[in-house]
Amino acid sequence: MGPFHRRDFLRAGAWLIAGAAVGRWPRVGVATRAPLDLLLRGGRVVDGTGRTAFRADVGVRGGRIVAVGVLPDASAATLLDVSGHVVAPGFVDVHGHTDLGIFVDPAADSKVRQGVTTEVVGQDGSSVLPVSDGMREARRKRYRERYGVEIDFGGWEEFLRALTDAGLLANFATMVGSGTVREVVLGEADRAPDEEELASMIRLVESAREAGAAGVSSGLEYTPNAYADPDELVALARPFADTGLAYASHLRNEADSVEEALAEAVAVARRAGVAFQASHLKAQGRRNWPKAARLLETLERTAEVGPPARFDRYPYTAYSTGLGSLFPAWAKEDGDEAFLDRLQDPSLAADLRAAVEEKIEMMGDWDAIQIASVEGDAPEDAIGERLGTWAVTTGRDPYAAAVELLVASGNHASIVGHGMSEENTRRFVAHPLGAICSDAGARRSIGPLSEGTPHPRAYGSFPRVLGRYVREEEALSLEEAVRKMTSLPASVVGLADRGTVAEGKAADIVVFDPAGALDTATFEDPHRYPEGIPHVVVNGTLVIRDGEPTGAFPGRIATPTAS
């Protein structure tokens, strides 16, 4: 099968569309005799399935969509004229990082202002739970000292109850991180688990599944997850084999060995009998840009023969992670304290420098690295600066500057890495197997989550697709873009109740201006909200009205129907 026909096959695949088929449109709703809670009148419905947009009113009652069609006689407690706007399912951020940010600032609104109504965390092998006593105490200490908040829970029920008590702007779903599971049982040791230890790890995954986890993730560039071999990963993914949920993997390498890393991850999913999700798929470094097409071909072939295979990607040419990611995994064995000691060990300096500078050469130069945040005693004038330029202007060697920032911050320094191509970004954004994600935690333009110079994707990922790639570049249709933000990601995590505008579905809805929706956040000035998204509804309640927060917190814990 050639590439063109293969793509047609993938577009038509039933597993790409979440939820049941929607009836023929437009039609008069049958559930409008009683007053509605909310009526969106006169909009153009893009229902999330990928089908052509249609004119219809949308009625909401009791947190559900109860009518979609021509509703001239319907009455409602709240009626919004949305003429000239698109009415779409709320966006599902299938790869997010607001794992604990809700406790720092429940009103962090950079996601809901984009139209995100459900976020899936527990990504890259790292989840809030399970947790060991030592991990629990370290987390308590860090959040108390940095944010002045108390975070202390040891079990899933306790954690999920704390989330709802804190208040949720959007729905919250989580995967279980295989790296976190490994750390609970093995700590930061670089070795394989024995039979008893592996059994303990499997039980932790099974407990997470029973609590409603939406799949299992790995982050194989991060320790201790990087120490896991394929057999371990298969064992930890297998508890989800009968759920339809995914093994979502931040690949072991996203640069020179990315093709081999993708093959490894697909093989893990196939052996485990689970679906596969490639996290934030990329080919990093100019010399690796030509590999992007082959990565997509691999996923297309996998999707045809099994297991179900998809990926997610944010619409930017830069990534964001910890500064420590520039350093090799062997330097991080036994945790942060040992890592920082090795950074200051003269006998290791030459080997560490060589490993880091090889990665920098692949990226281009030291100015491909932008400092996003630092903690502790690290110099704050580095925040927002390109590392190479900052080092030179302050009289530092770039490598030595990186070490200084890590040591002074206690390995709590984050970066933005500029290393991908625009052509590949467009290709990933438009591909039918790819869901749009933010790969970010929720932020806010004021308060503790306004600190630093984070990646602008926290504020702009979804409107950037609508503005740049749909309207300006016509890389994909509006209907296809909405599908990739709604029913496709909802299907990945088993949320059949969300992701489409249809009668009986949860009333998660975004209203946006197709001619005006766009991102305004930049790498230099990231704390800027998007434009052209006036209304956002979560479980039937407006959380954004006329572009401003309403003060409502109607989000819920979202668990997969498959679990």
DSSP string, 469-500: IIIIS-SS-HHHHHHHHTHHHHHHTT-TTSSS
pLDDT by residue (tens digit) across 355-366? 999 999 999 999
Q: Which two tokens stand for residue 212?
A: 């409603």
Comparing C-alpha atoms, which of 156, 216, 147 is closest to residue 180?
216
Question: What was the pLDDT predicted at 22?
Answer: 38
pLDDT by residue (tens digit) across 472-508? 999 999 999 999 999 999 999 999 999 999 999 999 9
Average pLDDT on 117-122 reads 99
Please check the confidence at residue 3 and state whether its pLDDT lies above 50.
no
Do 257 and 227 meet the contact criterion of CB atoms below 8 Å apart?
Answer: no
Do 222 and 179 meet the contact criterion of CB atoms below 8 Å apart?
Answer: yes
Please check the confidence at residue 442 and state whether its pLDDT lies above 60.
yes
Helices (H), 218-373: 230-237, 258-272, 292-305, 336-343, 349-363
Please check the confidence at residue 234 and state whether its pLDDT lies above 50.
yes
Q: Which two tokens stand for residue 297?
A: 């071909």
What is the distance between the alpha carbons of residues 517 and 457, in angstroms, rounded to a whole number? 15
Phi and psi at residue 116, to the nearest 5°: -75, 125
Phi and psi at residue 92, to the nearest 5°: -110, 110
Question: What was the pLDDT predicted at 32?
Answer: 58
Average pLDDT on 287-308 reads 98
Question: What was the pLDDT predicted at 8?
Answer: 44
Q: Say if domain 91-319+420-500 classifies as CATH 2.40.50.90.
A: no
Please check the confidence at residue 182 and state whether its pLDDT lies above 60.
yes
Question: Which residue is it, tokens 């030179």?
Answer: 392
Average pLDDT on 183-187 reads 98
Question: What was the pLDDT predicted at 149?
Answer: 96
Question: What was the pLDDT predicted at 14?
Answer: 35
What is the distance between the alpha carbons of residues 511 and 509, in angstroms, rounded to a whole number? 7
Do 249 and 218 meet the contact criterion of CB atoms below 8 Å apart?
Answer: yes
Please check the confidence at residue 43 and state whether its pLDDT lies above 60.
yes
Amino acid at the residue 78: T
Neighbours of 23 (CB within 10 A): 10
Question: Among residues of the chain, what percentage have pLDDT more than 90?
Answer: 93
What is the distance between the alpha carbons of residues 62 and 70, in angstroms, rounded to a whole number? 20
Of 26-40, 180-194, 195-209, 394-408, least confident by mean pLDDT is: 26-40
Average pLDDT on 23-36 reads 59
Q: Which two tokens stand for residue 442?
A: 């929720």
Note the Cα 523 to chain centre separation in Å: 18
Q: Which two tokens stand for residue 256?
A: 């020179």
Sign, CA dihedral 542-544-549-555, equals positive
Residues carrying CATH 3.20.20.140, the chain: 91-319+420-500
Question: Which residue is it, tokens 């990945």?
Answer: 492
Per-residue confidence at 2, pLDDT binned at 50, 70, 90?
A: very low
What is the distance between the alpha carbons of residues 286 and 149, in angstroms, rounded to a whole number? 42
Per-residue confidence at 1, pLDDT binned at 50, 70, 90?
A: very low
User: CA-based Rg of the chain, rounded to a whole angstrom?
Assistant: 23
Question: Which residue is it, tokens 């500064």?
Answer: 323
Average pLDDT on 50-58 reads 98
pTM beyond 0.85, yes or no: yes
Please check the confidence at residue 4 and state whether its pLDDT lies above 90.
no
Comparing C-alpha atoms, which of 229, 360, 353, 351 is closest to residue 284?
360
Do 62 and 37 meet the contact criterion of CB atoms below 8 Å apart?
Answer: yes
What is the distance between the alpha carbons of residues 104 and 94, in angstroms, rounded to a whole number? 21
Do 134 and 182 meet the contact criterion of CB atoms below 8 Å apart?
Answer: no
Average pLDDT on 203-216 reads 98
Question: What was the pLDDT predicted at 33?
Answer: 74
Average pLDDT on 193-199 reads 99
